[in-house]
């Protein structure tokens, strides 16, 4: 769990690591969801038969791993996205942002058509309804020339979650970053017609047709790939 931190030259006492792991297992065993409050330092120290100082250092490790967060005056809680950070792959440090856009579109082309196919088999009626609502907001914002990046990300996020693949939530940050960077780099190439492809995806999922859903997402990303190539050629 702490190998990544060690590679950065940060080392911790073995007992601290063990207690951090035990707290993490406690969270899993109690099935504490995002926003769930864990016991205070005193209670954890009694539970694991260690000093409060050790518990305090263990909690610091879990905060560093974005598993726990401290809310001043309220206590310590499970993070909204346990273990995930906003930029887990360090994309922000990539100098050639245009090439990064192109490469992220390629990765999305590998992932999202299959995600859409799985969603056609697994999405709930509530999730499909939510996709429709988000799409209406996207179209309205686009028609008024307003930024729809957050709504676009929300659409693809619920699509990924509806695949019911337990690994997919860990890959959502890649999709997030790819969409955000694409929208801010190539917004002038986007059209309402392109955004309407979301509707084709939704219809295929609602019809429980995985092949059509997969093809619709491929069409969506093919359009993105063409735009990226156009921009790369112009620069």
Confidence of residue 172 (pLDDT cuts 50, 70, 90): confident
Q: Are residues 65 and 131 in the same domain?
A: no
Q: Are residues 106 and 149 in the same domain?
A: yes
Cβ atoms of 160 and 168 closer than 8 Å: yes
Task: Report the 3 state secondary structure along 171-227.
Answer: HHHHHHHHHHHHHHHHHHHCCHHHHCHHHHHHHHHHCCCHHHHHHHHHHHHHHHHHH
Domain boundary among 17, 47, 78: 78
Q: Identify the residue with better confidence: 10 or 148.
A: 148
Note whether 69 and 108 are same-domain residues: no
109 and 190 both lie in a single domain: yes
Q: What is the DSSP letter of 137?
A: H
Residues 165-191, mean pLDDT to the nearest whole number: 79
pTM greater than the 0.85 cutoff: no
Question: 170 lies in a domain?
Answer: yes
Percentage of residues of the chain with pLDDT beyond 70:
87
Q: Are 158 and 134 in contact (CB under 8 A)?
A: yes
For residue 46, the model assigns a pLDDT of 94
Regarding whether 212 and 101 lie in a shared domain, the answer is yes
CATH number for position 29: 1.10.10.10
Domain range for 36 is: 3-78
Whole-angstrom distance, CA of residue 160 vs CA of residue 112: 8
Compute the average pLDDT of residues 193-210: 91
Instruction: Among 78, 109, 136, give the residue marking a domain's end.
Output: 78
Residue 40 — very low, low, confident or very high, per pLDDT cuts 50/70/90? very high
Instruction: Look at residue 83 and tell me if it is in a domain.
Output: no
pLDDT at 84: 61
Are residue 116 and residue 215 in the same domain, yes or no?
A: yes
Q: According to the 3-state scheme, what is the secondary structure of 38-105?
A: CCCHHHHHHHHCCCHHHHHHHHHHHHHCCCEEEECCCEEEECCCCCCCCCCCCHHHCCCHHHHHHHHH
Q: Which residue has the higher pLDDT, 2 or 206?
A: 206
pLDDT at 157 over 90: no
Mean pLDDT of the chain: 85
Domain match, 35 and 72 both: yes
Strand partners, 77: 37, 69
- Shared domain for 48 and 114, answered yes or no, is no
Rounded CA-CA distance 200/52 in Å is 56
Contact 64, 5 (CB under 8 A): yes
CATH number of the domain enclosing 139: 1.20.120.530
pLDDT band at 2 (very low <50, low <70, confident <90, very high): very low
Q: In this predicted structure, what is the pLDDT of residue 5?
A: 44
Based on the structure, what is the number of domains in the chain?
2
């Amino acid at each position: 769990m702490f190998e990544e931190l060690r590679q950065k030259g940060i080392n911790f006492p073995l007992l601290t690591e063990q207690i951090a792991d035990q707290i993490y297992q406690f969270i899993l065993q109690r099935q504490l969801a995002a926003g769930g409050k864990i016991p205070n330092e005193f209670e954890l120290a009694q539970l694991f038969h260690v000093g409060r100082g050790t518990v305090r250092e263990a909690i610091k490790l879990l905060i560093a791993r974005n598993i726990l967060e401290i809310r001043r005056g309220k206590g310590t809680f499970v993070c909204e996205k346990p273990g995930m950070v906003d930029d887990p792959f360090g994309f922000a440090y990539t100098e050639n942002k245009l090439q990064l856009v192109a490469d992220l579109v390629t990765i999305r082309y590998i992932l999202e058509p299959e995600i859409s196919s799985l969603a056609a088999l697994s999405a709930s009626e509530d999730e499909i309804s939510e996709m429709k609502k988000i799409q209406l907001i996207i179209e309205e914002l686009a028609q008024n020339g307003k930024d729809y990046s957050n709504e676009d990300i929300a659409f693809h996020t619920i699509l990924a979650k509806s695949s019911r693949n337990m690994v997919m939530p860990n890959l959502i940050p890649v999709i997030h970053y790819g969409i955000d960077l694409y929208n801010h780099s190539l917004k002038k190439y986007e059209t309402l017609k392109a955004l309407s492809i979301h509707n084709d995806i939704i219809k295929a999922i609602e019809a429980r047709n995985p092949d059509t859903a997969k093809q619709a997402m491929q069409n969506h990303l093919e359009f993105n790939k063409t735009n990226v190539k156009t921009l790369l050629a112009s620069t």
